[in-house]
Amino acid sequence: MSRISWHQYFMAQSHLLALRSTCTRLTVGATVVRDKRIIAGGYNGSIAGGDHCIDKGCYVIDNHCVRTVHAEMNALLQCAKFGVPTGGAEMYVTHFPCLQCCKSIIQAGIKAVYYAEDYKNHPYAIELFQQAGVQVEHVPFEQAALDSKVHEKVELFEEMLKELENLHADEEKLRALKEQKEKLFQ
């Protein structure tokens, strides 16, 4: 068995953190790394002890939920709270950072940002990252990195779908099952 790459290892951590998100619009996780060691993590959610979107709904102003603190900010604030320097560190994020997080990332001295999914990539954020010399790289998260049996599962699904096709299953249902399989194993 081959080892998971460093990029996938830290991106997996960010996806795991995103599972703690209390936002109902988008779940995001961020991991701050220095010298291949995790120094902080964050997810998007409300202030400590505050109302959460999952309980009270999103508080939306100008098409933006103002109830949540973004994952990137939570990770940086965790460093500040515990006195952990961020200069020269890297950040792994499930989604491209918003403009405000971009500015905070730059000011915190983060040298590289790796993100798994494009999300409203603001042109000015891209320009600011370039201006500040922050390396930005799209690193798609490979779910298969966490599941050593994913290939066997895909083969099993394909065999089952082929068998259903041979049994002349309803074409519409079969098409829907194939679409579900594709989404499941992207």
Bridge partners (DSSP) of residue 114 are 92, 137
What is the chain's alpha carbon radius of gyration, rounded to the nearest angstrom? 20
End-to-end CA distance of the chain, in Å?
21
Using an 8 Å Cβ cutoff, are 43 and 20 in contact?
A: yes
Handedness of CA 89, 122, 44, 78 (dihedral sign): positive
Active-site residue identified among 72, 90, 152, 159: 72
Assess whether 72 carries a catalytic annotation.
yes
DSSP SS3 for 182: helix
DSSP SS3 for 86: coil
Read off the tokens for 148: 């050593």
CA 159 → CA 4, 7, 147, 170, 173, distances in Å? 28, 32, 19, 17, 16
Edge-to-edge order in the sheet of strand 37-43 = 37-43, 29-34, 90-95, 112-117, 135-138
Active site amino acids = 72
